[in-house]
């Protein structure tokens, strides 16, 4: 098995929203904001190559929305999905499985692109099956008022029209060595890959723990629909992660791709930080 980090660019969100009830005087020390209270976030995807399977986990924000939409998120950075895939020798056409942790626009916006004629939509990964948990699909296609702005119908509904939508109902093994577990705190049916790689467990964190700065238990996003469920899920996961020496691979951490976690008398915190390759060398 091979794992490749696939950066797709960066964006900005309000730091207060990202850190919830934690005061700025605390979170700003570990994840600094700009003069407008905005913090930089990555949209870092993961490519899993095993045999004839090439599984892409999440795909970033895409490019089909209007400029007004993108202006709210201050997109920046030179890396794109296509350039990052090309850098490791692949293209969209090589992807056999498009695995979506959930359907918020910054995770699934690249699933669908505009057709060359510009009058419709088509799958951005024409040879891939699209994997989504059933509860997340139902949640996203009949969204509540709080999440409606994050579930854009043009990112979601055309997936079903491809005929390659694969829904799953519970934790399962996607391929040998890649276990999928469902978490419900951030959004119902978020699906997290646990990957057995070179004798370690690598976990693609998505929005369960969006950055290394979010490891302390109270650091929970205001975007989470069920923060107390998030708290419970995070505590249970971190206990397991510390015991198993898991490597946490972050989708949104602008500064660090990965880290491990440790538990101290004062609670959980990030331990070794760096790229996936650097963590394996430590």
Tell me the pLDDT of the chain averaged across its residues. 96
pTM of the entire predicted model = 0.96
What are the C-alpha distances in Å from 182 to residues 44, 64, 71, 136, 242?
20, 29, 32, 10, 20
- Angle among Cα 100, 11, 211 to the nearest 5 degrees reads 65
Helices (H), 4-66: 15-19, 24-30
Please choose, from the candidates 133, 75, 83, the residue with its C-alpha nearest in 3D space to the C-alpha of residue 106. Answer: 75
Domain that holds residue 36: 2-281
How confident is the model at residue 83, as a pLDDT? 97
What tens digit of pLDDT does each residue of 251-281 get? 999 999 999 999 999 999 999 999 998 988 7
Helices (H) and strands (E) in the chain, counts: 9, 15
| Number of structural domains in the chain | 1
Spatial contact of 238 and 276, defined as CB atoms under 8 Å apart: no
Query: How far apart (Å, rounded) are the C-alpha atoms in residues 92 and 83?
Result: 10
Spatial contact of 235 and 242, defined as CB atoms under 8 Å apart: no
Residue 113 gets the label, from left (phi > 0), alpha (psi -120 to 50) or beta, of beta
What tens digit of pLDDT does each residue of 50-107 get? 999 999 999 999 989 888 999 999 999 999 999 999 999 999 999 999 999 999 999 9
Burial class (CB in 10 A: 0-12, 13-18, 19+), 240: middle
CATH number of the domain to which 119 belongs: 3.60.15.10
What are the C-alpha distances in Å from 229 to residues 126, 138, 186, 233, 256?
36, 19, 8, 6, 26
Which H/E stretch holds residue 193?
A: strand 190-197
Give Cα 80 distance to the centre of its chain.
15
Query: How far apart (Å, rounded) are the C-alpha atoms in residues 1 and 11?
Result: 30
Beta-strand (E) ranges in 82-176? 97-99, 112-114, 121-123, 129-133, 165-168, 172-175
How confident is the model at residue 117, as a pLDDT? 74
What tens digit of pLDDT does each residue of 12-64 get? 999 999 999 999 999 999 999 999 999 999 999 999 999 999 999 999 999 89
Query: Please, which pLDDT band fits residue 209 given cuts at 50, 70 and 90?
Result: very high
How confident is the model at residue 115, as a pLDDT? 84
Query: How far apart (Å, rounded) are the C-alpha atoms in residues 89 and 209?
Result: 29
How confident is the model at residue 155, as a pLDDT? 94
Rg (CA), the chain: 18
Please choose, from the candidates 158, 150, 157, 187, the residue with its C-alpha nearest in 3D space to the C-alpha of residue 72. Answer: 150
Show the tokens assigned to 122: 């088509």
């Amino acid at each position: 098995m091979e794992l490749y980090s696939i950066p797709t660019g960066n964006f900005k969100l309000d730091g207060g929203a990202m850190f919830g009830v934690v005061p700025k005087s605390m979170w700003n020390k570990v994840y600094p904001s700009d003069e407008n209270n905005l913090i930089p976030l990555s949209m870092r995807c993961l490519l899993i190559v095993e045999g004839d399977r090439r599984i892409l986990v999440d795909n970033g924000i895409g490019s089909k929305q209007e400029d007004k939409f993108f202006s709210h998120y201050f997109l920046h950075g030179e890396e794109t999905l296509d350039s990052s895939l090309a850098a490791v020798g692949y293209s969209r056409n090589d992807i056999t499985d498009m695995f979506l942790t959930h359907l918020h626009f910054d995770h699934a916006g690249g699933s669908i692109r505009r057709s060359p004629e510009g009058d419709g939509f088509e799958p951005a990964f024409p040879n891939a099956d699209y994997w989504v948990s059933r509860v997340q699909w139902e949640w996203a296609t009949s969204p509540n008022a709080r999440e409606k702005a994050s579930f854009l119908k043009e990112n979601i509904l055309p997936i079903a029209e491809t005929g390659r939508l694969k829904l799953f109902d519970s934790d399962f093994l996607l391929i040998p060595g890649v276990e999928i577990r469902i978490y419900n705190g951030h959004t119902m049916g978020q699906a997290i890959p646990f990957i057995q790689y070179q004798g370690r467990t690598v976990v693609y964190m998505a929005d369960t723990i969006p950055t290394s700065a979010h490891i302390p238990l109270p650091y929970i996003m205001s975007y989470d629909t069920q923060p107390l469920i998030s708290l419970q899920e995070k505590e249970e996961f971190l206990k397991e992660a510390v015991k198993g020496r898991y490597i946490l691979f972050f989708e949104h951490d602008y500064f660090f791709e990965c880290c491990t976690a440790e538990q101290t008398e004062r609670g959980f915190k990030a331990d070794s930080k760096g790229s996936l390759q650097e963590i394996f060398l430590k």
